[in-house]
Amino acid sequence: MLAAPAHAWFRLLSPGLVELVFPERTSDAELHRAFRELERWMRDDVHAPYGFLVRIDHVLMLTSKQRQIVAGYEARYADVERRFNAGQAMVVASPVQRGLFTAFTWLSPLVWPYRVFGDTEAALQWLRAHWADVTHDYPTGPRWMGRLRGDQDRTRAG
């Protein structure tokens, strides 16, 4: 993956690793623009594993409507995430918010590896180490998908 979604909130950290930085406040319209581009990227550009550093450490507030907007988009590209999301590091500044996020994932578990951190450096360190681990022997997809090196070649030949 050589590009991140084409929106100011996203940037490519290294091939396959994308950062998403939520602003302190946002409008519903801007949230739609960001997540429409993320959905387009998921559908058109993602054909290999990726990892996300999601920074919500500066967010002052997301309204319940905005949380629904995000959830709606995530539901639309969940099939891509299940197949290619190799891991996600979430940066959440407040211990209370980290606890709420953890409780949320108990109710609605993520299907890819993730960890929640209080600072960006720790999150990035984990994400890079995790990325190296899961893509070492399984470069065409996350380890839990069972795709071994060369599976695509054997499929084409058979």
Nearest CA to 54 out of 104, 87, 91, 82 is that of: 91
Rounded Cα distance between 154 and 158, Å, is 6
Taking the whole predicted model, whether its pTM rises above 0.75 is answered as yes
Whether residue 99 contacts residue 55, with contact meaning beta carbons closer than 8 Å, is answered with: no
Going residue by residue through the chain (158 aa), what tens digit of pLDDT does each one get? 679 999 999 999 998 899 999 998 999 999 999 999 999 999 999 988 899 999 988 887 778 898 889 888 988 998 888 888 888 999 988 887 777 677 666 666 677 788 989 999 999 999 999 888 877 766 655 555 555 444 443 333 33
Whether residue 11 contacts residue 54, with contact meaning beta carbons closer than 8 Å, is answered with: no
